[in-house]
Structure formats: structure tokens, C-alpha cells
Chains A and B, each alone.
Chain A
């Protein structure tokens, strides 16, 4: 059983619903470290002064805020602590919004919300109300000394909380200078691309996808440790399509006849298994 990372209350118009927060994700840690290519020795990270190039011991290091022109406001350890926001153990809900209005791009880190002993009824009522109305609660909470904007939503029979990105932290599409084609795609090309899209339409099945690369690195490294590393292929740059129409035509001819989503899913799982077997060889 997982351990909660935070205990507090969801505050809803003066009403407190006591809850516990749990991490909803468990990142798989990469097993890499940095080595010097030349001699295979581990790389150390040393903190050096940009002025003298010499290493500076940690008790000699302070934090500063750059005010421009290489000038800094230096903060004492007490001031650094004072900047950290005191934690009110509360998720303060400000509003509820229709779930479909929130683009998933706003969601950052995911948590599960569990009940404290004396809060089961209140949490059950809130969860059921959100499920029924398809609304998402928007609020704020201080986590790790930093106030976060969060969204509370029902999903998978549990109350989920996601920290959210602020609007100004997202790059707008208009900021990109997108090169547009001189000649727009033709009606026929659009129809063929649509057909291709429909042929690949499937239900999303997260269990069909595994990190097969991680497994491939593992088997290659083990073989290399025994001095039996296999020959590796050359990398090729993908080519720009010269004849879009011909590529679409060939894709449609190569594509299998349209399958129902359930059949396609089985196909995926089988393909994933196949490639894992190959990687182990």
C-alpha cells in the first residue's frame, strides 16, 4: 500500500473535507550515469567559482537573485526559508468548471485523493457530485513550499488531483512561425488521408504500450558486458515526401482492411510481444 504524501482538507465554501494525497505516478528511474568516454571513469559534478575556476565548498555558497548586469541580491539562509510559503493544510476550491473546457495541456503532476478516517462520507459525496455533473474543481494548495493551482476531478472511481500550468507558462501557437505550403492539399489527398486515418482508428488501450527500448538497452548492455555486442545498423535521415499523392496511394494499398477496434487492439499487443522477444535474442 502506498503512503500518503500530504494530509489536509479540501475546503469547499467553508466546509472542510479531510483528505490524504497520494502520488498517482511512479516514474521508472533510468539506470544511466555519466562516464568519461575516453577512460570510462565516472563524471563528478563539482561546484566551481566562475571567477577563479576553483571548487567552492558548500558552506561557502549563498543564493542570490540576479538584478541584471551581473549584480545580485544576496539572500541569507533565513531569508531563503522565509521565502518558502507556510503551508496551510488546505486545498481551497475557488470554482467548478465543465470538464470538457480544460485542455489536458494544463494538467501537470497527478495525485490521487483518499479519505481520512472521519472524512469518508464527505469525500464520497463530493466524488459522486463531480461524477454526476462532469464538473472539475479548480483550487489552490501549497505543496513543497509553493502554492499550486490544482484541478480536482472524478475518474476511474477515485478523486484525482492534478497540479496545473498557468496560462502564461504555455507557448501559444501564434508564437510559432509555421511555414505554410504554397499549394494547399487537394480534395483527393484529403479524402485519401481521411481514409488512412479511419483505417488506423482504434480505442486507446494503454496496456498495449510498453517501453520496449528500455528492454532493448538492457539486453544489448548485457551482451556487450560479455563481449558479444551485436552489429548495429546505420541511422538514416527520414526523407521529405516528393509525391504526397503517391505516398498516400501506397499507404492505402499497404494498409490492411479496416478492422474493428477490438481486433486492432489484439494486433497491437501481439506486435509488442513479438518485438520484445526479438530484443532478447
Chain B
């Protein structure tokens, strides 16, 4: 098993389910390393005490919190003890329907797996099966390192999946768009809506996530491979930026005709 990011329990009612939190997303991007130009030795970022000038181990590091007037030093134990229950437990506060959650509020995905013995495994299976059957999402909160997370627990393929969520004050209102906001007042003409709907429907397929490859990743890998074979990496030409259509209805008609001709 991959190393857990956190261990604790999910509690619903008075039932505790001991769990470990695992990452559900992996970074497959192409990464570069910093090197010393002359020796080609790897560069490492080292934490150094600004007073002593000596390297400091990660477990000797405390957090400085800026209150506005002071910088107060807080240790990891203090930070954990500020909300002891939330630091160790994801307390389910409500079971909600998935459709009632704005997809924009989902942040990072994780998995929860049971830890311990038969008791943990049974309580986990019970919670996962019942949530799956009732098609419910559990909403709870917990504290990880220096911040609190609102989380949504769902069942995917029999496993409890956890998504951290953005708090309401971290989501911007569409009102912030000002003049750029298109509202109910900008009602499209009947003809434009009919054509746009036809166009959208003509381009409809089933969603197949595996059909989309990361072309950026592939491109960088190809450029590196070329360089390894002694080639040169040259900049691609600047592409043209598309211009808007002067006549919306004519553009919709043309696009629709083009799509229908394709199929």
C-alpha cells in the first residue's frame, strides 16, 4: 500500500471507521531537475536556519503564524490539539445528494481505505455499501496539518473516495464578472438558440475519458527524445488567434452545415 497521507477515522453516528487517506491522483507530467551548470550535479533545496546558517531537519521546524502584529511560533502538537477531534476524525455531518454539490467546489481527490482488523473492515464495508445503495454523499470536516478541510465522501467501485472541497468563501460569485457576465437579460434569439442547440447535439458523443491523451506530456517527451538523438529543440511558430464571426446566425448555419456534412 502507498504511504498514507493521514490516518484517523470516519465517524457516522457513534460508529468509528478507522481509515487511511491515500492520494487518488498522480502527477504524470514531465519534470525537469535543477543542475549545477559546471558539475552537472543535482541541486537540492535545503532548509537552513537563518540565524545559525546550518541545515535544519524537517521535524525541527515549527510554524510561525502571523497575527497581524506578532509572529507566534506554533508547534505541530499545538496545531493538532487546537481541534483534537477534527484532527483525528472526519465526522459525517450530513448525507447529501451528489447533484446538490457544485462540481467547481471539488478540489483534490483521495481514497479512504480501512486500517486495523476485522472490526474496521466490517464497519467500512457497511458504510460503503449503504452509501452506495442510497446514492448518498457524506459531508464532513477534518484538520490536516495547518488547515481545515471540508470533504465529500462518495463510493466509487466499492471504495470510499474523498474529495476535499473549497469553502464557500473560496468560490467566486459570477457577479464578479461585471460587464462580461452573460445573464438572463442577454436572451438569445429563437433562431440562434435553435441553431446552437442543433449544433451542440450534432457534436454529442458518450464521454470516454481514455479517449483523451495528454498531448502536452507527449509533446515534451518527444522533444526530449529528439534532443537525446542529437537533434535540436526549436520553438514552434506562433499560431493564429481566431477572429469572431460578424454575423452570428450565418456562422451558426455554416458550422451546422459543416458538422452535418461530416457525419
Contact = CB atoms under 8 A, between A and B. Distances in A.
A67 interface: yes
A179 B199 contact: no
Interface string A78-89: 111111011111
17 contacts: A13-B258, A34-B64, A35-B62, A40-B62, A47-B34, A105-B24, A133-B197, A136-B207, A176-B113, A178-B159, A200-B12, A204-B96, A213-B143, A213-B147, A220-B82, A222-B72, A240-B117
A73 B121 contact: no
Interface string B153-179: 000111101010011111110101111
Name the residue in A13, A75, A138, A207 with the highest tally of chain B Cβ atoms < 10 Å from its Cβ.
A13
Contacts of B195: 125
A43 B50 contact: yes
B92 to A, nearest CB: 7
Contacts, number: 588
Contacts of A114: 177, 180-182
Would you call the interface of chain A mostly helix, strand, loop, or mixed?
Answer: mixed
B150 to A, nearest CB: 5
Would you call the interface of chain B mostly helix, strand, loop, or mixed?
Answer: mixed
Interface string B44-78: 11111111100010001111111101111111011
Nearest to B8: A238
Given A49-B41, A96-B203, A202-B95, A196 B12 contact: yes
Given A49-B39, A79-B227, A184-B125, 15 more contacts: A1-B177, A22-B176, A82-B233, A97-B204, A97-B205, A105-B109, A121-B189, A121-B248, A124-B188, A125-B193, A159-B182, A166-B213, A173-B159, A240-B18, A251-B15
A270 interface: no
